[in-house]
Amino acid sequence: MKKIFIPFIALVLANVMVFAQEETTVDKPVVEPFGSGYLIDNQTTLVPYPKTLEFVIQHKFGTLENGKSDVWGIYNSANVRLALNFVVMKNVQVGYGLTRTDMVHDFSAKWTFIEQTRKNSVPLSVAFYGNLGLSGNPEDTYGVDYEFSNRLSMFGQLIASRKFTDRLSLQVSASFSHFNQTDTSKFDYDRIGLHLNGRFKVTEGGSVIFNYDQPLKALQLTNHEDVKLHPNVALGYEIATVSHAFQFYLGYSKQLMPQYVMVRETKDFDFNQFNFGFVITRLTGY
């Protein structure tokens, strides 16, 4: 019996040691590259765990131009978006939102198909984000030749991010925005954009965050020279926990839907035209 038992134990121990060695050599994804799937006006490459429901509130106050008469825009007109996102499987998220401007219903999806790893065998995370917007404006807004497709707008974005240190994470992205119908005296149908975003942790739960979106004068079907292409710049602070994130910022664009930010933001680029805003996200697991 001993002759059988001893080799059996040795074989089991050998298998346990090999398994443990393999476990220690697995290069897992980096921890917490961002505090939220949102970074001011942009998506990040972060997708929560499968079967997680994310509730989102995005809110932008009025511009600073009236000063203390409306408390620097806080008691002026506001733009609000409410959204729910659900992670249907690992690194795949779908969502629905409703924005006050044009009463736009949006249907979105995000897929992080490459994840940065802790030992840098994969140096970047890469994600695709897209949405389809459906305007809720009255039918007569679209003229006598109204069609349902006139209400549609689209946005697609390829995002690459890297967590450089435990404190610093940056991401760059390129996007394409499209509107099926637009007022060609003011806007273009299509717009390519470049984006730069990041966060720098200053405490365990607090980070300085920034957002920069640059629309490019390319692929313009109307091609008029007087279209203003100001960058969307924002700087803020984020407080994040395991299930919550709160971001408060000062930024240029009043818009909340990314295609609206890239195509339909035309006000003067002046500090008085900036506005305060915040983003709140809440995660619930199922």
User: Could you give the percent of the chain with pLDDT greater than 70?
Assistant: 88
Confidence of residue 1 (pLDDT cuts 50, 70, 90): very low
Contact assessment for residue 238 and residue 251, using Cβ atoms and an 8 Å cutoff? no
pLDDT at 219: 60
C-alpha dist (Å) from residue 147 to 139, 150, 151, 263 = 9, 6, 8, 21
Higher pLDDT, 45 or 26: 45
The pLDDT of residue 28 is above 80: yes
Phi, psi values for residue 51, rounded to 5°: 65, 30
DSSP assignment letter at 70: G
pLDDT at 86: 97
Q: Which tens digit of pLDDT belongs to each residue from 103-129?
A: 999 999 999 999 999 998 999 999 999
Q: What is the mean pLDDT of residues 168-175?
A: 97
Confidence of residue 12 (pLDDT cuts 50, 70, 90): very low
Q: What is the mean pLDDT of residues 1-17?
A: 48
Distance (Å, rounded) from C-alpha 273 to C-alpha 266?
A: 11
The pLDDT of residue 13 is above 50: no
What's the maximum distance between 2 C-alpha atoms anywhere in the chain?
Answer: 93
The superfamily CATH assigns to domain 30-285 is monomeric porin ompg (2.40.160.40)
DSSP string across 210-278 = EEEEEEES-S-SS--TT-----EEEEEEEEE-SSEEEEEEEES----SHHHHHHS--S---GGG-EEEE
pLDDT at 20: 42
pLDDT at 256: 95
pLDDT at 223: 58
Q: Which tens digit of pLDDT belongs to each residue from 236-282?
A: 999 999 899 999 999 999 999 999 999 988 888 889 999 999 999 99
How crowded is residue 246: how many other Cβ atoms within 10 Å of its Cβ?
17
Q: What is the mean pLDDT of residues 202-225?
A: 82
Structure tokens at 132: 């389809």
User: Could you give the percent of the chain with pLDDT greater than 90?
Assistant: 66
Structure tokens at 181: 């119908």
pLDDT at 225: 61
The pLDDT of residue 153 is above 70: yes
Q: Which tens digit of pLDDT belongs to each residue from 71-105?
A: 878 888 899 999 999 999 999 999 999 999 999 99
pLDDT at 157: 97
